[in-house]
Amino acid sequence: QVQLVESGGGLVQAGDSLKLSCAASGGTFSTYGMGWFRQAPGKEREFVAAISWGAGRTYYADSVKGRFTISRDNAKNTVYLQMNSLKPEDTAVYYCGASKSYTGSSYPRYEYWGQGTQVTVSS
């Protein structure tokens, strides 16, 4: 069983930056595809970014391309999401997910999830 714990969320102003972290335990982190998703109040969970097990492939939602960067450190069992030029519409709870066999934008294909971290961007 894999446990994921997100951290790094907070309240920032538009244009600021935040770096989220997702620490994994209980599994072989280096073999998992990892993804970041977010969910705003009243909306469905949406894809943000994903990274393959060896970091050779990354994927981004169009809404965050050029502003967000996903990365991972397999030695630290951690995946990161660097968020720059934040906008009020980025406000959401951000979740990381892990998959034994998938890297991409489909959240049902991720087997494990963290509890989420709140990001609030004020205008």
Which pLDDT tens digit goes with each residue over 5-58? 999 999 999 999 999 999 999 889 989 999 999 999 999 999 999 999 887 899
> Which pLDDT score is estimated for 10?
97
Give all strands of the β-sheet with 78-83 in edge-to-edge order.
3-7, 18-25, 78-83, 68-73
Question: Mean per-residue pLDDT for 59-87?
Answer: 97
Q: Are 88 and 123 in contact (CB under 8 A)?
A: yes
